[in-house]
Structure 1
Amino acid sequence: MEQQEPQQQESTIDSNLDSNQQRISGIWDNIMAFLHELLDIRQDSDRDETIEAVRKDISFQGHNAWILIFSIFVASIGLHANSTPVVIGAMLISPLMGPIVGMGLGTAINDAIMLRRSWINLIVMVGLSLLTACLYFLIAPINGITDELKARTFPTILDVLIAIFGGLALIVAKAKKGTISNAIAGVAIATALMPPLCTAGFGIATGSLKVFGGAMYLFCINAVFIALATFLVCKLLKFPMVKYANQAKRKRVSRIASLIGFLVLLPSVWLFYQLYQEEVKKAAGAKFIENYVEFDGMRPSYDWNEKDPNMLDIWMVGEPVPVDVLKEWEKKFTLQKGLEESTVRFYQGSSLPTENNEGVEVVQEELIDKLRLIQNKDVRIAALENELRKANEQEKDFNRLSEEVRLNYPQISSMSYAESINKDFITQQVDTIAIYNIIFNDTTLTVPNRVEIKTRIGKWLSYRLQTEKLKVNEIKRSFTIPVESTKKETQIPSKTVE
């Protein structure tokens, strides 16, 4: 009996463990089934319809060509006017992504015809866009590069990430049964294919190779990663491959498509890595400035050197920093993660070299602009205070004058004052006259008496204020008749018949 009890306990424990394992396994299976149902897009994808829709969007002729031209004009105007909403509107109406998606899909399904049409239409699209943007900027008066244009002259790692996830969202939206137009419109805004082309046209119109190269570089990044995202999703959804009757031709097309995919993928990976390293370096430099470059009475300004991208130049304005402090900063700079291959240079006071005067001038210009802004505010405040002081003085003067009029002329019940601006149309002269309006208290005064009092008041005011530019007017007293009394007076008595 004693041996059976431990065996029963062990069997009970084993059965409990098996039961718990089954429950855990059931929970895990339910979670996986839920996630599969939530994230699976293969069941609701219409592959044949997607291929046909992409094939229709590739061509750039007729309506699409004119829509592209007009949207390029709108985007160029928005960039020139520094208006973000106008640029967003242009991206909404632009049909730019058709050939780019066609390149990715054609490579994925081994369709040589689609791939060739996509390349040709992409070249036509880029050429037409550059020509239209260049034409606009040649005609429009250009005062200089705006902030919206400048923002499209250099790519960052964020642009790559936007292009990747934007391309994924685009092809997933196109693959769904019943295309999601809102998602496609949102991708058109997010990936921002049009502004770089307009900026490149600005670079051609102004003869700036740097602006043109940076803008085209940004456009190529967006186009490559959208096509790459399309390729990956089409492979994941197992889009049907194009079949060829000739086996040799199928292999040849497959090799060409694979080669193009490899040529697109290889520089994309290298580009992504380079931009990522650049962002890491910039973030590390900014963190170094924030954490270590600090001294009482000194204001730092920094930028990465254009000639040597691994050189961080720091300009210091204000109190001079001791040499031992600068050496300590240099040692800490070399120990920063992400700055191992970079160097730092500190400039202050007379140690500023000639080639870096531009950075110092930028800091000085910023300080001068702030001082001017403060001075302009002080001038406006002083002008407003002066106007307020004048208004207070005029109010005090009028109070004294009105009190004297009340004591000297008991026939007057009230007096008002206002300045009147008059223009003579013959001489075109503008003059300001002080108008004093008076109301007589005694309504029994004759007209000659009223004229005499007005004349005497006018002469007295001219002597009192030492000016001839004034006028005294009489205002008739207005009487307000109560509504009830009016009704009583207007009532018609009924006639009585005798």
Structure 2
Amino acid sequence: MENSNQSSFTEIYKSIKLFLKDTFDISQDTNHTATIEDIKAGVDMKGQNAWVLIFSILVASTGLNTSSTAVVIGAMLISPLMGPILGMGLSLGINDIDFLKKSLKNFGVMVILSLLTSYLFFSIPMFQNETPELIARTFPDVRDVIIALAGGLALIIALSRRNKSLNTIAGVAIATALMPPLCTAGYGLATLKWDFFRGAFFLFSINTIFIASATFLVTRFLKFPYEAYANSKRRKIISQIISALALIILVPSVYLFYQLYKKSDFNQKADGLITKLRTEKGMLILDVHKDFEKKQISFAVVGKSVSQTDIVDFKSQMKDLGYDECKFKVLQDAGNLETISKINEIENSFLSNQQLLLKKSQQLLDKDKEIFELKNQLENIDKKVFPFTEIAEEIKALNDEIEMVSYSNKISTNFIKTDTIPVFEILWKKNVSSKTITLENEKIQNWLRIKLKNDNVRVSY
């Protein structure tokens, strides 16, 4: 009886195993040679492919500028962007270093052509408005990684079949959306909005890395034949180089996936707690911003106030969810009672300060008046005690050709400030030449400035 049961279970297990193999086995319908040829044929970015790429970028840029999803989808269907990316993944999978170089070269041409075309389009002022379609391409998250990886897997599996499914290839071109991020990056360059450029180019990089990684993984899983090399030593070196490159791509891909996963997880948990706060406290919460890098959450509250206890509780819950030292910025509603009280306090303080300032201003005016009067008195005193006769005799002693010396205070203004300038007028004998007078006046002026310690002294004749 036991043997009969065991035999029955074995039959069921074999049937299930056979069913699963028939359902999920992709190796039986694989055409290695045709797949490699098809991918190699689509790598080149020259001739017709280059022009198709340029025109499809223009179509996509127009669609993004008008927020027309249908136009953007149409552009993605006609663009040849996928070719060099598949080429990079395939070349890594089959150890073809020459094909890898060709794929990288054409990938570079593809990126430059795309950025240049979109840059020129968005350089036109009438096309520089921000639209929802453009903004949507600047915030990649973990779902974009899943789309790129799953799309890349679907694409290479579809391409490897003997009977290729054009619907699958077209669907992957739409889902992975390589073109819109490149157009958005061009928009960021044209308008100098670097956050747009960084976010969009990051999204394009995610799609590129994971589509290439998916192609590499499937080609190895399906055991695509390695490129044949006559020199076994060269094959070994190339194999090592390719393996290192594959590792360089795959390791950052895993790290990138983890980082985007953590960012999405942080945003999701923060949204959950904010929803809970909104439901339990009956608050209207607006303008929510989450910054994963800074671990900061900010939002505005209308209606009930968020107390310090609520914030402490919020931090504690985020800590329990794995995000310690989370920061919160809460903008309270101006209609709250405590806020009104604070505003009243500020208003009262402002009025008191205004009264104090008026009083101080009057005191300053009185002081200025007093200073002005004292200054006039000092000037009068200076005039009285100024030793004019003594200075005039000293000037005469400097040169016997001087007949007369006069002195006065000249008041001048440049409409910014007013100065009082001491002026000495010297009358020379008629036989003294003009050149001598000029030189002697300059010497006497320098002497007077030193003697009177006043650089404003002037000498004229």
Give distance in 2, aligned partners of 1:351 and 1:324.
20
Q: Do the aligned partners of residues 259 and 297 (structure 1) sit closer, same or farther apart at CA in structure 2, a change above 3 Å counting?
A: closer
1:45 maps to which residue?
Answer: 30
Q: Deviations over 1:37-78 (max 9, x none)?
A: 111111110001111111101111111111111100100000
User: Which is worse superposed, 134-143 or 172-181?
Assistant: 134-143
1:196–1:216 CA contact under 8 A, matched in 2? yes
2:284 maps to which residue?
Answer: 299
Deviation at 1:25, TM superposition (A): 0.7
AA aligned to 1:96 is L
Q: Do the aligned partners of residues 351 and 323 (structure 1) sit closer, same or farther apart at CA in structure 2, a change above 3 Å counting?
A: farther
Match of 2:331 among 315, 327, 347: 347
AA aligned to 2:138 is T
2:61 maps to which residue?
Answer: 76
SS of alignment partner, residue 157 of structure 2: helix
1:197–1:215 CA contact under 8 A, matched in 2? yes
Give distance in 1, aligned partners of 2:192 and 2:44.
31
Give distance in 1, aligned partners of 2:292 and 2:335.
20
1:82-97 maps to which residues of 2 (within 5 A)? 82-97=67-82
1:284–1:339 CA contact under 8 A, matched in 2? no
1:310 maps to which residue?
Answer: 295
Deviation at 1:84, TM superposition (A): 0.4
Q: Are 1:227 and 2:197 matched, yes or no?
A: no
Give distance in 1, aligned partners of 2:243 and 2:162.
28
2:232 maps to which residue?
Answer: 247
1:80–1:149 CA contact under 8 A, matched in 2? yes
Q: Identity across aligned pairs (percent)?
A: 46
SS of alignment partner, residue 154 of structure 1: coil
Q: Do the aligned partners of residues 105 and 330 (structure 1) sit closer, same or farther apart at CA in structure 2, a change above 3 Å counting?
A: closer
Deviation at 1:88, TM superposition (A): 0.4
1:302–1:312 CA contact under 8 A, matched in 2? no
Q: Are 1:287 and 2:300 matched, yes or no?
A: no
Give distance in 2, aligned partners of 1:351 and 1:232.
59
Deviation at 1:314, TM superposition (A): 2.7
Give distance in 2, aligned partners of 1:119 and 1:74.
25
1:304–1:310 CA contact under 8 A, matched in 2? no
2:154 maps to which residue?
Answer: 169
1:263-274 maps to which residues of 2 (within 5 A)? 263-274=248-259
2:288–2:299 CA contact under 8 A, matched in 1? yes
Q: Deviations over 1:332-378 (max 9, x none)?
A: 4433x1433523333314799xxxxxxxxxxxxxxxxxxxxxxxxxx
Q: Deviations over 1:106-154 (max 9, x none)?
A: 0010001110100000000000011111111113613521000001112
TM-score by length of 1: 0.65
Deviation at 1:213, TM superposition (A): 1.2
Q: Do the aligned partners of residues 53 and 145 (structure 1) sit closer, same or farther apart at CA in structure 2, a change above 3 Å counting?
A: same
Q: Deviations over 1:222-251 (max 9, x none)?
A: 000000000000000000001111122112
Deviation at 1:322, TM superposition (A): 4.3
Q: Are 1:206 and 2:186 matched, yes or no?
A: no
Match of 1:238 among 223, 226, 238: 223
2:19 maps to which residue?
Answer: 34
Give distance in 2, aligned partners of 1:224 and 1:162.
12
Unpaired runs of at least 5, structure 1: 1-15, 353-498
Give distance in 1, aligned partners of 2:226 and 2:51.
33
Q: Do the aligned partners of residues 291 and 305 (structure 1) sit closer, same or farther apart at CA in structure 2, a change above 3 Å counting?
A: closer
Give distance in 2, aligned partners of 1:308 and 1:28.
50
SS of alignment partner, residue 14 of structure 2: helix
SS of alignment partner, residue 244 of structure 1: coil
TM-score by length of 2: 0.70
Q: Do the aligned partners of residues 176 and 341 (structure 1) sit closer, same or farther apart at CA in structure 2, a change above 3 Å counting?
A: farther
SS of alignment partner, residue 127 of structure 2: coil
2:273–2:314 CA contact under 8 A, matched in 1? no
SS of alignment partner, residue 138 of structure 2: coil
Q: How many residues align?
A: 336
SS of alignment partner, residue 292 of structure 1: helix
2:121 maps to which residue?
Answer: 136
1:433 maps to which residue?
Answer: none
Unpaired runs of at least 5, structure 2: 337-461
RMSD, matched Cα: 2.0
Q: Do the aligned partners of residues 288 and 127 (structure 1) sit closer, same or farther apart at CA in structure 2, a change above 3 Å counting?
A: same
1:119 maps to which residue?
Answer: 104
1:46–1:177 CA contact under 8 A, matched in 2? yes
Q: Are 1:275 and 2:264 matched, yes or no?
A: no
Q: Deviations over 1:259-295 (max 9, x none)?
A: 1111111111100000001111111001111113456
